[in-house]
Amino acid sequence: MDLLADLNPQQRIAIQHGRGPALVLAGAGSGKTRVITYRIAHLIRNGACRPEHILAVTFTNKAAGEMRERVQALMGLSRTSEPLISTFHSFCVRLLRREIHRLGYRNDFSIYDTDDQRRLLKQILKDKGRNDKELSPREVLGRISFAKNHNVGPGQFAAQFPSPSAEDIGELYELYDARLRRGNALDFDDILLKAVALLDRFQEQRDYYSDWYRYILVDEYQDTNRPQYDLLRLLTSRHQNLFVVGDEDQSIYKFRGADIQNILRFEQDFPGARVIKLEQNYRSTQNILKLATSVVENNTERKGKVLWTENHAGDVITCRRSATARSEAAWVSRCIRDFLDEEPDYRIAILYRANFLSRNFEEALINGSIAYCVVGSVAFFGRMEIKDLLAYLRIIFNPEDDIALLRIINTPPRGIGATTIDSLTRQALEKGVPLLQLVREASSDATLGGRACNALRRFLELIDGWQARRDNATIGELLGSVAESIEYKKMLEKDETAEEAANRMENIEELIRAADESQDKGETVFEFLDRASLSSELDTLDPNARVSLMTLHSAKGLEFDVVFLAGLEEGLFPHSQSSNSAADLEEERRLCYVGITRARRKLFLTWTPFRRNFGPSSDSASMRSRFLDEMPPELLDEWSEGRDYADDDEEDPFAVVEDKEEKPVWKPSAGAAPAPQPKSIAELRAYLKQVQPAAKSGDAAHGATRSLKSGMRVRHAQFGDGIILSRQKVGNDFKLIVTFSRVGRKTLIERYAKLEAL
C-alpha cells in the first residue's frame, strides 16, 4: 500500500517530515488523525526507527484506541513490536509504576479519582473543625487542581494566586498533598506532575526514556497544559523529534489548565520548527464550513487558517426557535425519526453545552421509540457497586489507602458507626499511621465498646484473609470472594428495587470477568486498577449507535452526518459562568465552532426562550445566543415554532404555544410492561433498557455481532469471505484474527469491522 497516494500535498509534507520539531495546524475535518497515523506507519516503513521507539500521545482512551487501530490496519499485524500509543495519563502511570520509588512513593500507589479527592478533602476540613459552607470541597479542589496545573505548590499558592481565601486554601492544599502522600496515592494531576518531577530530577531516567522514545507525536496539542508541556520538553530534550498536531480554534479545555499559548508559541519554544497548515476540509458541506468560520473569526487569539472544501454547498442551516424546551426536544425527535426513515445509515448527534440538557431529549426519543446512546452518563467504572468492590481491592493491595478503607469500612453496614470511625481517624492522624493499622490496634485493645470492637475484629479478619490470599488467588476470585463474604447482594436488595439490584450484580459479574481477562493477558492488579481509574465517560461511546447524545466537549474529534446543536441561549451557551472575560467568551466560541464542524451534511440549530430551570417558574425568558447573531443571515433558514414542521396555525410567533403532541404522556411501546412514570433520569434509563435492549450503550448494543466465535465464517465489505481464527477481548472491544480467502490474514476490531456471519 502506498501511504502517500491518497494524501494532499500538505499532508504529504507533514508525513514525510524528518527529524526536528514540527507543528501541524490542522483545521476541523482536515485529516488530522490520518496525518499522525500515516506518519507513524511511514516512520516504521522507512526504517527511521523500530516501532517501539515511537510514542504517540492523545488525551482520551478512545482517541488512543482508534489511533492504535488505524496504525495496525496500515501496518498489518505481523510485527513483533508496536509503537506506544497512549494517553498522557496512562503513559505517566506506566512510567511511575516502574520509577516512582525514587520519589519516595511505593510503586503500588493508588490513584484517587474526583470522588476520592472529595472524600479526602472533606475529611481534612472535618479534622480542622471547619464546616464546608464558605469553602466547598469542590471549590477548594478546583483551586488546588488549577495550582497544580500551573506548577504552583502549596507554599507558593497564596503568593501566586492572591485572594481573600488564598491563605486558607494554601494551607488545605498542603494538608491535602501530605495526606495523599501518606496514603501512597496520587490524584489525576499528580500523575503528570510526578512523572515530570521524576524526569526532571533524575538525569539517568530522563536520558533513558528520551533515548528510548526517539519520535514523539502529540494529538490535540492545543489542549496541553503546563505539566504536559514540561513532560514533552523533558522527553525530547535530546533529539527534539516532536511532532504535534492541533487546532487553536478547537482549544476548549482552558478550565482544566490547558494553555492555548502552548500551540500559539510553539515556534518560539522549539526553534527551527517546521509549520504545516492543513486547510482542506474533507468532512462538511461548504455552508457548514462557512458558518463555522463566520463564528470563530470573531476570535482574536488565533493563528488564522482558511478552511476550504471541494464538497458541494449543501443545504442552508436550519435555525429553529421552539416554544419550550420540551417542544424543542419533541421537534428534534421527529426530525430524527424522518432521517432514520429516509437514511437508515445516517449517524446523528444531539449536542448540548451541559449534561443536564440530555433529559428532555431522552424523553422525547423514548416517546418516539428511537434508540439512542448517551455519552458520558454513568461510566462503568464510575458506578457505585464497581467503586465499592475496587475499593476492597485497593485496600487489599495498598493497606495505606485510607480513602479506600473509609469507603468500605461500613459498606455494607456492619456496625462500625460514625463515632468509631471518627475516633479511629483522629488517632491515625495524630500518630501519622495508616488507618488500617489503627483498626488493627483498636480491635485487639478493648478501649472501645465491646460491640464496635467485635465488628472491627470481624472486618479485620476479612481483610487479613484476602491479603493472605492475594498473591495466590486470581483478581477475579478475590473480587468474587469479596462480593460473597460481605453479602453485597443482600445490601443492594435491601435499599433498591429488584431490577436495580440485579443490574448492579450483573455489573459486578462483568467486573469479575474483566479482571479475569486482564489477568489472562498477563496484566498486574495495578494495570487493571489503573485502567479502571483512567477510563473515562467518553469510553461509553457506541460507534454503532445511530443517534448519540453528548456534550460539546465530548463531541470533539467525532463526526456525524446530521448534527442538532441545541440550547443556543444566552446564559447556557455561552454559559453564564464562562462569560466573564473576553478570553472565556472566545473559548465558548471555539466550543461552538467545534459543535458546528462535527456535521458532515446537515446542521440544525435550536433554541427556546422558555427552558425551565429548576425552582418555581424562574425569571424571564432567555435570549437567543449571541453566536446565532454572529452567523451570516443568508446561511440561516430561521423558523419559529407554530409556523413550521408541526404545521400549526400561523400566529404570533412569540406567543407561547403548547404543542399538542407534546403533553407529558408516557407512551410505552407496544407489548411492553405497563410503563412507570420515571422520576429520575436513572429510572428513565433503566426503563429504556427493558423496552429497547438494543438501544443500550455498551455490550448489549453489539447484540448483532456478539455471537461471533472463532471458527465462524464471516463476510467483510472489502475483504470478502473469511474464517475467524481467534476472538479476544481487548478493553471493551473484541480483537478478531480472520483469514480471508482473497486477502489473507487480517486483524480486525469487531466493533468497527461490521462483519456479517455466514
For residue 553, the minimal CB distance to DNA (Å) is: 4
Peptide bond into 399 cis (omega under 30): no
Kindly state the cell numbers that stand for 250.
Answer: 478547537
Binding span for DNA by CB under 7 A among 99-107, 196-204, 551-559, 721-729: 551-559
Binder among 32, 39, 62, 696 for DNA (CB under 7 A)? 62
Q: Is 553 in the site for DNA (CB under 7 A)?
A: yes
Question: Could you report how far apart the first and last alpha carbons of the chain are, in Å?
Answer: 29
Is the distance from CB of 695 to CB of 371 less than 8 angstroms? yes
Q: Is 258 in the site for DNA (CB under 7 A)?
A: yes
Binder among 340, 371, 396, 538 for DNA (CB under 7 A)? 538
Contacts to DNA from residues 176-195, by CB under 7 A: 188-189
CA distance 240 to 229: 13
Cα distances (angstroms) measured from residue 415 to each of 100, 388, 449, 451: 38, 17, 12, 8
For residue 32, the minimal CB distance to DNA (Å) is: 14
Q: Is 551 in the site for DNA (CB under 7 A)?
A: yes
Q: Is 527 in the site for DNA (CB under 7 A)?
A: no
Q: Is 676 in the site for DNA (CB under 7 A)?
A: no
Is the distance from CB of 668 to CB of 691 less than 8 angstroms? yes
Closest CA to 29 of 277, 280, 291: 280
What is the maximal distance between C-alpha atoms in the chain? 82
Binder among 67, 366, 452, 508 for DNA (CB under 7 A)? 452
- The residue (of 32 and 89) whose beta carbon lies closer to DNA is 89
Binder among 46, 114, 690, 739 for DNA (CB under 7 A)? 114
Q: How many residues bind DNA (CB under 7 A)?
A: 58
Contacts to DNA from residues 67-96, by CB under 7 A: 87, 89-90
3-class SS at 628? helix
Binder among 306, 418, 665, 673 for DNA (CB under 7 A)? 418
Is the distance from CB of 389 to CB of 482 less than 8 angstroms? yes
For residue 239, the minimal CB distance to DNA (Å) is: 25
Q: What DSSP element (H or E) covers 140?
A: helix 137-149
Q: Is 614 in the site for DNA (CB under 7 A)?
A: yes
Closest CA to 216 of 58, 34, 26: 58
Closest CA to 195 of 64, 111, 89: 89
For residue 743, the minimal CB distance to DNA (Å) is: 34
Residue entry with cell 467486573:
511
Q: Is 458 in the site for DNA (CB under 7 A)?
A: no
For residue 91, the minimal CB distance to DNA (Å) is: 9
How buried is 332 (Cβ within 10 angstroms: 0-12 exposed, 13-18 middle, 19+ buried)?
A: buried
For residue 684, the minimal CB distance to DNA (Å) is: 9
Binder among 255, 282, 308, 666 for DNA (CB under 7 A)? 255
Binding span for DNA by CB under 7 A among 65-73, 101-109, 128-136, 743-751: 128-136
Angle at alpha carbon of residue 199, lines to 193 and 204, rounded to 5°: 160
Contacts to DNA from residues 680-739, by CB under 7 A: 680-682
Site track 2-41 with DNA (rule: CB under 7 A), x = hit: ----------------------------------------
Sign, CA torsion 357/363/369/371: positive
- The residue (of 690 and 741) whose beta carbon lies closer to DNA is 690
Binder among 2, 80, 129, 133 for DNA (CB under 7 A)? 133
Q: Is 575 in the site for DNA (CB under 7 A)?
A: yes
3-class SS at 727? strand
Return the HEC string of 192-237.
Answer: HHHHHHHHHHCHHHHHHHHHHCCEEEECCHHHCEHHHHHHHHHHHC
For residue 384, the minimal CB distance to DNA (Å) is: 8
Binding span for DNA by CB under 7 A among 324-332, 349-357, 393-401, 560-568: 349-357
Q: How far is CA 245 from the centre of its chain?
A: 20
Binder among 310, 679, 717, 718 for DNA (CB under 7 A)? 679
Q: Is 170 in the site for DNA (CB under 7 A)?
A: no
- The residue (of 198 and 736) whose beta carbon lies closer to DNA is 198
3-class SS at 572? strand
Residues in Cβ contact with 297 at an 8 Å cutoff, skipping those fewer than 6 apart: none
Q: Is 539 in the site for DNA (CB under 7 A)?
A: yes
Q: Is 354 in the site for DNA (CB under 7 A)?
A: yes
Is the distance from CB of 405 to CB of 416 less than 8 angstroms? no
Within a 10 A sphere around the Cβ of 317, how many other Cβ atoms? 23
Q: Is 413 in the site for DNA (CB under 7 A)?
A: yes
Q: Is 503 in the site for DNA (CB under 7 A)?
A: no
Binder among 9, 47, 164, 615 for DNA (CB under 7 A)? 615
For residue 100, the minimal CB distance to DNA (Å) is: 17
Binding span for DNA by CB under 7 A among 239-247, 532-540, 708-716, 733-741: 532-540
For residue 327, the minimal CB distance to DNA (Å) is: 17
Question: What single letter denotes the amino acid at residue 406?
Answer: L
Residue entry with cell 511532532:
243
- The residue (of 60 and 367) whose beta carbon lies closer to DNA is 60
- The residue (of 148 and 214) whose beta carbon lies closer to DNA is 148
Q: Is 360 in the site for DNA (CB under 7 A)?
A: no
Name the H helices within 253-369: 261-264, 266-269, 286-296, 325-342, 358-367
What is the DSSP secondary-structure string of 289-305?
HHHHHHHHTT-SSS---
3-class SS at 486? coil
Residues in Cβ contact with 122 at an 8 Å cutoff, skipping those fewer than 6 apart: 132, 137
Which residues are catalytically annotated?
Answer: 32-33, 219-220, 250, 598
Orientation of helix 226-236 relative to helix 203-212, angle to 10°: 80
Binder among 99, 223, 662, 750 for DNA (CB under 7 A)? 223
Sign, CA torsion 281/284/286/287: negative
For residue 172, the minimal CB distance to DNA (Å) is: 16
Q: Is 61 in the site for DNA (CB under 7 A)?
A: yes
- The residue (of 176 and 740) whose beta carbon lies closer to DNA is 176
316: which DSSP letter? Answer: P
Contacts to DNA from residues 306-345, by CB under 7 A: none
Binder among 300, 577, 620, 718 for DNA (CB under 7 A)? 577
CA distance 588 to 578: 7
* Residues forming the site for DNA (CB under 7 A): 59-62, 87, 89-90, 114, 122, 132-133, 136, 188-189, 220, 223, 225, 253, 255-258, 353-356, 376, 410, 413-420, 449, 451-452, 494, 534, 536-539, 551, 553-554, 575, 577-578, 613-615, 679-682
